[in-house]
Amino acid sequence: MNDFFVFESDTETEPGEGSPDIVEAAASRRQALGRLATLTGGLFLTACGTNPAPVAPRPTGAPTTSSSPPYPPTASTQPTTVSYSPQDSGFLSRGFEPSQPPPNVTARAAIVVQANSGKVLYAKNADTRRPAASTQKLLLGILVAERGNLGGNLTVQKSDTWCEPTKMGIQAGQVYQRGYLLKTVLVRSSNDIARCLARDHSGSENAFAAAMNRRARQLGMNNSYFTNSNGLPDPPGQFSTARDLAILGAAAMRHREIREAVSTKSMTFRFADGRTVPVNNTNKVLRSFPYCTGMKTGYTNAAGRCLVSSASYDGRNVIAVILGSTSPNVWTESQALLKWGLGV
């Protein structure tokens, strides 16, 4: 595989994929990424990063339950270049070309990329649209981290608790630090916390889904669509691809708070009333493979087992995405792909 992160289908055509709008969007994306590669020497993490639109400070007393809140403001969907210092990247800078054939993958879709250059080392149905389940919480993490004020507090509302398990069990009226909930949702994947952070950010779940889709377009995730913050199948219609989720994973690792959260193997969650409960990271590869640096799991009946995972060794950095897998294959195959991509 010598392609890069461009929208080129390596699988059967999805309904509507061949439409003029999709073809035009694909061509536009190739041109944008080509310009970015020229400007940055092919450094993928700079290419996938964009300048988020300036976010106005939330007015004191502004409503947080309106169905059409005034924030976040409408953002441009055109990718723009951005400069990052090396310590902000989450990755070092050495590439690697595996000399061995890739391991067998039974998942419905998968991809392995060099995190620095974006070079695709392996792809299987990488542009096939599939449910992403909770892996899309990485985008939740990006939006919350970019909004900032992670040391500030938020109050849980009743509507935040209206979701299916997995739930942490936060209750209306409880007050938590925003950054604490962000870390917990990326470690434990709690859907009630995801809804709480989404409502706090945008005023409602629907408004947050719109913010997710704007940010996804800015990142170059042009084959993804989201309807909620947590990846559950209601409302229906959301999808992503292995390739887009690899882009998302690389962008998420730009943020120190996200890197620290997804690499956390276990923590103790303290409820507002003082109760504590041990929390283990849902990513089992983090405990079985010493070079794994984290990322995000996902599961629904429709999506199957999903995992975005990352690993680093000797300056080599890879991201692997597996969609539509089963347990334990999602763990063993993800680890095998990471090892292969690193050459260890």
Residues linked to residue 6 through DSSP beta bridges, in sequence order: none
pLDDT of residue 30: 45
pLDDT of residue 99: 84
Look at 32-41, 101-110, 283-292 and tell me which has the smallest mean pLDDT: 32-41
Residue 180 has pLDDT above 80, yes or no: yes
Which whole number is the average pLDDT over 130-139? Answer: 97
What is the rounded distance in angstroms from the CA atom of residue 201 to the CA atom of residue 303?
26
Residue from 89, 117, 189, 325 carrying the catalytic annotation:
189
Tokens, residue 276: 């504590």
Look at 112-121, 177-186, 283-292 and tell me which has the smallest mean pLDDT: 112-121
What is the rounded distance in angstroms from the CA atom of residue 87 to the CA atom of residue 194?
28
pTM of the predicted protein model: 0.76
Catalytic residue list contains 83: no
pLDDT of residue 261: 97
Q: Domain-by-domain residue ranges, the chain?
A: 20-51+75-342
Look at 39-43, 92-96, 265-269 and tell me which has the smallest mean pLDDT: 39-43
Look at 99-103, 196-200, 207-211, 269-273 and tell me which has the smallest mean pLDDT: 99-103
Residue 129 has pLDDT above 80, yes or no: yes
Which whole number is the average pLDDT over 284-312? Answer: 96
**pLDDT tens per residue, range 50-88:** 333 333 333 333 333 333 332 222 333 333 222 223 334
Question: 77 or 316, which is more confident?
Answer: 316
pLDDT band at 118 (very low <50, low <70, confident <90, very high): confident
**pLDDT tens per residue, range 300-314:** 999 999 999 999 999
pLDDT of residue 87: 39
Residue from 137, 183, 296, 339 carrying the catalytic annotation:
137
Question: 140 or 98, which is more confident?
Answer: 140
Residue 45 has pLDDT above 90, yes or no: no
Which whole number is the average pLDDT over 136-144? Answer: 98
Tokens, residue 23: 């073809």
Catalytic residue list contains 183: no
Catalytic residue list contains 284: no
Residue from 9, 89, 134, 204 carrying the catalytic annotation:
134
pLDDT band at 239 (very low <50, low <70, confident <90, very high): very high
**pLDDT tens per residue, range 14-36:** 333 333 344 344 444 444 434 33
pLDDT of residue 102: 95
pLDDT of residue 95: 61
Q: What is the mean pLDDT of the chain?
A: 79
Domain 20-51+75-342, second-level architecture: 3-Layer(aba) Sandwich (3.40)
pLDDT of residue 33: 38
